[in-house]
Amino acid sequence: MAIKLKEICNQEDKIAPGHRACHGCPETIIVRQVLHTITAMGKPVIAASPTGCLEVCTSPYPQTAWRVPWIHNAFENVSSTLAAAWSTYKHFVKLGKIEDRDVKFVVFGGDGATYDIGLQFISGVIERGQHILYVCLNNEAYMNTGTQRSGATPLGAWTTTTPVGKVVPGKTEHRKDIVGMFVANGIPYAAQAAPHAWRDLMTKVQKAVSIEGPSYIDVIAPCPRGWRFPIDQTIYMSRLAVDTCMWPLYEVENGKYRITTRPLEKKPVIEYLKAQGRFGHLLLPENKHIADELQRKVDQDWEELQKRAR
C-alpha cells in the first residue's frame, strides 16, 4: 500500500496533544508515525508500553493521551502481556465470540526495557511466533530514571552510571547488536529506522504488521536532555546519526538483509560526537583513541552490513 501523506495528515492523532513529553522529545513523533500508518491501513490497533518515558508522559493518573486501547505493564514483561492479549483475541475469534477485524498489537518500549530488562521476554515471543510488533524507542539510556547506561548506550558516552573522569572516560563497551540477536532468534522481520526518515519508517511499519509472526523495529530517538543538545535539533540529530552510519537504516526480512537508505555522503563520526554534550570529553586529546575506536567500529559494521545486503 502506498503511503498517502494527505490522507495520513487528515487523521486524528492517536496521541492527544498536551501530553507531558519533554520539549524536543522524538518519542511521540515516532508513535504518531507508527499509529498513523496502521490506521491508514484501515486496521484497529491495541498498544502497550512498559514503564518508561513514554508511559510516564502520556498517562499521569487519572489522565491519558492515548486514543487507542493501551496497556501499561511492568518494565520486563510487556511483550508477553501484549502477546497474551493477541492470543486471547485469536482464541475468541476462533470460538466465534468476536469478529476478526485484523487488530494489530504494538508494543512501544524504551531501550532499557528492550535491550536489557525485557530481552528474555521478547525472545520468548519470537520463539512462540506470536503476531505482535515491538517498536523500540531507542534513546540509548534509561532517561526516565536519570540517564543511566543501557545495553544500547554507545561506547564513550557519558551517563550518570558511566561518569567521565580520569579513571573512566564514559561507557567502556560497545552497544549490543539487538537486531542481529533477533535475526539469529528467527524473527521474520526486523529493521532499524529513524524519525526524520518518516517514509522509510512508515513503509517498515506496513511490512511489519503485514507479515505473519513477530516483528521488531528499532527506532533511534535522540534525547535532548540525555544527549545534551538543543531542543530544536532533534530531527537534525536523527539525520546525522544516519549520515555518519552510527545508525544505518536497513531491514531483515526472513533472514535477507536490505539497506533502505544510503547516505549521499558518509560523514565522519566526529561530526556526530561534536554535536552532543554526552560525547564532549571525546574531543580532548587524551580521549581521541575512543573516538577513533568508534569510527573503526562504525566503518567495520557498515562494511559488514553492505556485504550482507548484497
* Average pLDDT for 57-82: 95
pLDDT at 207: 97
Q: Residue 239 above 70 pLDDT?
A: yes
Confidence category of residue 127, pLDDT binned at 50, 70, 90: very high
* Average pLDDT for 57-79: 95
**Mean pLDDT for the chain?**
96
Q: Residue 2 above 70 pLDDT?
A: no
pLDDT at 113: 97
Q: Which domains, from first to last, does the chain contain? A: 5-308 (3.40.50.970)
Q: What φ, ψ does residue 303 adopt, rounded to 5°?
A: -65, -40
| Region of poorest pLDDT, from 71-75, 129-133, 293-297 | 71-75
pLDDT at 48: 98
| Region of poorest pLDDT, from 4-13, 70-79, 249-258 | 4-13
Q: Residue 7 above 80 pLDDT?
A: no
* Average pLDDT for 173-198: 97
pLDDT at 310: 85
Confidence category of residue 1, pLDDT binned at 50, 70, 90: low
* Average pLDDT for 166-180: 96
Nearest to 72 by CA among 45, 44, 107, 41: 107
In the chain, how many H helices and how many E strands?
12, 8
| Region of poorest pLDDT, from 54-58, 72-76, 213-217 | 72-76
Q: Residue 3 above 70 pLDDT?
A: no
The percent of residues in the chain predicted with pLDDT above 70, rounded, is 99
User: How does pLDDT run across 276-300, given as a tens digit for each residue?
Assistant: 999 999 999 999 999 999 999 999 9
Rounded to whole angstroms, the Cα distance separating 74 from 65 reads 19
